[in-house]
Amino acid sequence: MITLKLHTNVIKKIVLSAIKANKGQYNYEELVIDGLKILNMMRDVGCKITIKGTENLKNLKPPCVFIANHMSTLETLVLPGVIGREFRVTFVVKKSLLHYPFFGKVLSALNPIPVTRKNPKEDYKIVMNEGLKRLKEGISVIVFPQATREVVFDPTKFNTLGIKLAKKAQVPAIPVALRTDAWGIGKIFKDFGKIDPSKPICFFIGTPLYIENKGLKEHLQIIQFIENSLKKCYN
């Protein structure tokens, strides 16, 4: 019952936003507000939500590269709201998401960077070229270095794409640790799985890292930040 109620409300929100986007009437501020509304929907069904580290962004001049683990559909819907209006953001996303009914229209409003996840070399070129364009325009980029959503964080599947983009653009990299498995991965519809209010939802934002040399040290710092933050959220 909880899952049906939540997904029904979220889908209604996405459909209404997509209609506005189709008419060119959906702006970034509305997208941020929609993300916060979806977080409130999660609270309304009993989910405990913890957001920490937003103070690390207060004195930081955008743009930057946010580097996060990826657990569920939830972070794609709400991260702009968590990060806030001051940082206009976009995502590196799987190209097929842009063809989803309604949700694709809303996501397109962010001018995301689409990749196929089938050809790593081609995807790398796209992210470097398009990511640099967005950053030069003052738009921060959210990168999920994992190839797919994973409930258990595996550092061996966490690539250095975000680090390389931050270094090329000479902007700070911001580690973000996410626990969002309260929004499950569905068996029939992968993006709309079971909602489990017993699982806490956590968004932890780390301090800015400035990439030196090849960025190996910073890459390891981001992994350590995510691992330590997830431990706090699971305890």
Residue range 25-52, pLDDT digits in tens: 889 999 999 999 999 999 999 999 999 9
Q: What is the pTM of this model?
A: 0.95
Which of 203, 124, 205 has its CA nearest to residue 160?
124
Residue 226 pLDDT class (50, 70, 90 cuts): very high
Please check the confidence at residue 110 and state whether its pLDDT lies above 80: yes
205 CA to centre of own chain:
12
CATH number assigned to the domain comprising residue 119: 3.40.1130.10
Please check the confidence at residue 188 and state whether its pLDDT lies above 80: no
Neighbours of 99 (CB within 10 A): 10
Residue 126: strand, helix, or coil: helix
Q: Domain containing 184: what range?
A: 2-234
pLDDT > 70: what percent of the chain? 100
56-74 confidence digits (pLDDT tens): 999 899 999 999 999 999 9
Please check the confidence at residue 204 and state whether its pLDDT lies above 80: yes
Structural domain total, the chain: 1
- Average pLDDT for residues 164-186, to the nearest whole number? 95
